[in-house]
């Protein structure tokens, strides 16, 4: 059962003792000397964590109320002990009920994640990502660098699709166009990419100039046309459970007979009714990680899963490389951003790596073939 405290009856020393006891279960000490011990600079930290759970924990880090030498390891220990499940709040309960009752990813909200996450500055992503700006899990089987890992991932995807020269492909959630350009140059295909980010659409259009590629600022529900193959890398996390079936029906309608659909998505290994409140508020609004069961229900009668591969363990190294790039380039990036943004983005990257280490999340590649009507 989640922990419940009457904060009004707890003295400051009691608040600290409660948090200390919770953290001690994860071998984390307040003001200790270990690499992932927490140094607290603001006494309101304890009440904020107990009152607001993971949201308060992340916000207090952004505000500089606490720090640690090894943020990723700290969050990993908290997640491994499932402390996030034990410290629940009324806000979290309301968010859960809202996600169950309403379609948070409906058409009218489709472009919100583009505006609030992907449109915050191409300079950030150019410095953080590889040269193709692939913003998804790399494939580190034999790779030694981020560049090699992202190219290996693209080769893995297109090998599964068995691309042939002259084919027409669709990239659902095309990002900055790097994958489409690679497919056109390496395999001689033509393609269409859609995104809900204006910045991505402008950048991708310029990147793919001179190639038989069209970039559209478009919601997936407005798709039309026919394609030999379709792939979606790191976009399904924004679709939402109430829209999974619509998503699959739309792509099935656009896929020519004999075509294949490659779905690459982060997934939740544990059933959860809502997104982490801090991630939802500051990083990916309206996002929701699917489960394998939800994907299976969404494709029922439309597609057969001919192959499923798990590569979630590869995301830890990918996120660490992104964080190193971000920190190395911060002197240039901070001209347009403040210290709060730095701590927010660093918390995002470290906590994400921790979630994959704790096996809360995975990355799946589903190779789907259409079932005859």
| Interval 303-343: pLDDT, tens | 999 999 999 999 999 999 999 999 999 999 999 999 999 99
More confident residue, 288 or 98: 288
Q: What is the bridge-based pairing of β-strands 227-233 and 168-172?
A: parallel
The pLDDT value recorded for residue 84 is 73
What percent of the chain stands above pLDDT 70?
Answer: 88
> Is-contact 337 123, C-beta < 8 A?
no
Residues 6 or more apart in contact with residue 23 via CB below 8 angstroms: 29, 30, 38, 78
Q: Is the pLDDT assigned to residue 98 strictly greater than 50? A: no
Task: Give the model's confidence band at 90: pLDDT under 50 very low, under 70 low, under 90 confident, else very high.
Answer: very low
Going by C-alpha positions, the residue among 75, 88, 78 that lies closest to residue 3 is 88
Return the closest-CA partner of residue 285 out of 125, 127, 98, 126. 98
Residue ranges with strand state E in 55-126: 66-67
Structure tokens at 135: 């913003």
Helix axes 198-207, 178-187, angle to 10 degrees: 20
Per-residue CA distances from 291 to 167, 244, 296 (Å): 32, 11, 9
Average pLDDT over residues 224-253: 96
Predicted pLDDT of residue 257? 94
Helix spans in the chain (H) = 12-24, 44-62, 71-80, 83-86, 90-101, 112-113, 122-128, 146-161, 178-187, 198-207, 244-254, 277-282, 292-299, 314-328, 330-333, 339-357
295 — pLDDT class (breaks 50, 70, 90): very high
- Closest to 354 measured CA to CA, from 26, 37, 35, 72: 72
Tell me the β-bridge partners of 367.
262, 307
Provide the b/e sequence for 18-31 (b: ≥16 CB within 10 Å): bbeebbeebebebe
Q: Which residues pair with 169 in a beta bridge?
A: 191, 229
For 107-370, CATH number out of 3.40.50.150, 3.40.50.720, 3.30.565.10, 3.30.1360.170 equals 3.40.50.150
What whole-number distance in Å separates Cα of residue 60 and Cα of residue 346? 13
If you average pLDDT over residues 29-49, what whole number do you get?
Answer: 95
Both tokens of 365, joined, read: 């590649």
User: What residue segments make up the domains of the chain, in order of their start?
Assistant: 7-88, 107-370
Lowest mean pLDDT among 107-121, 190-204, 354-368: 107-121
Task: Write out pLDDT tens, residues 142-156.
Answer: 999 999 999 999 999
Distance, in Å, from the CA atom of 16 to the CA atom of 50, rounded to the nearest integer, reads 10
Strand partners, 304: 369
The counts of H helices and E strands in the chain are 16, 9
């Amino acid at each position: 059962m989640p922990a419940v405290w009457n904060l009004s009856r707890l003295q400051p020393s009691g608040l600290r003792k409660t948090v200390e006891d919770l953290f001690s279960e994860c071998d984390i000490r307040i003001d200790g000397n270990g690499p992932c011990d927490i140094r607290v600079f603001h006494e309101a930290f304890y009440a904020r964590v107990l009152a607001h759970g993971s949201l308060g924990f992340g916000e207090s880090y952004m505000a500089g109320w606490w720090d640690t030498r090894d943020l990723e390891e700290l969050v990993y220990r908290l997640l491994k002990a499932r402390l996030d499940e034990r410290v629940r709040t009324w806000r979290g309960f309301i968010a859960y009920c809202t996600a169950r009752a309403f379609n948070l990813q409906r058409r009218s909200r489709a472009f919100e994640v583009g505006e609030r996450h992907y449109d915050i500055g191409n300079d950030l992503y150019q410095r953080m990502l590889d040269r193709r700006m692939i913003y998804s899990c790399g494939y580190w089987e034999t790779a030694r660098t981020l560049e090699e890992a992202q190219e290996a991932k693209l080769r893995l995807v297109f090998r599964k699709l068995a691309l042939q020269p002259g084919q027409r492909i669709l990239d659902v959630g095309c990002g900055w166009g790097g994958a489409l350009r690679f497919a056109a140059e390496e395999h001689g295909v033509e393609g269409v990419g859609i995104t809900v980010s204006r910045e991505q659409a402008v950048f991708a259009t310029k990147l793919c100039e001179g190639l038989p590629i069209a970039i559209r600022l478009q919601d997936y529900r407005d798709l039309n046309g026919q394609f030999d193959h379709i792939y979606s890398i790191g976009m399904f996390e924004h679709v939402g459970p109430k829209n999974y079936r619509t998503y699959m029906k739309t792509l099935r309608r656009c896929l020519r007979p004999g075509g294949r659909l490659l779905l690459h998505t982060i997934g939740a290994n544990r059933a959860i009714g809502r997104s982490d409140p801090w991630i939802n508020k500051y990083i990916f609004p309206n996002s929701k990680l699917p489960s394998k069961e939800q994907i299976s229900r969404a494709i029922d009668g439309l597609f057969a899963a001919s192959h499923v591969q798990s590569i979630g363990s590869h995301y830890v190294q990918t996120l660490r490389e992104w964080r190193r790039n971000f920190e190395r380039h911060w002197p240039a990036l901070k001209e347009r951003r403040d210290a709060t943004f730095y701590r927010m983005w660093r918390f995002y990257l470290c906590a994400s790596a921790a979630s994959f280490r704790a096996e809360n999340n995975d990355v799946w590649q589903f190779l789907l073939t259409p079932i005859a009507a």
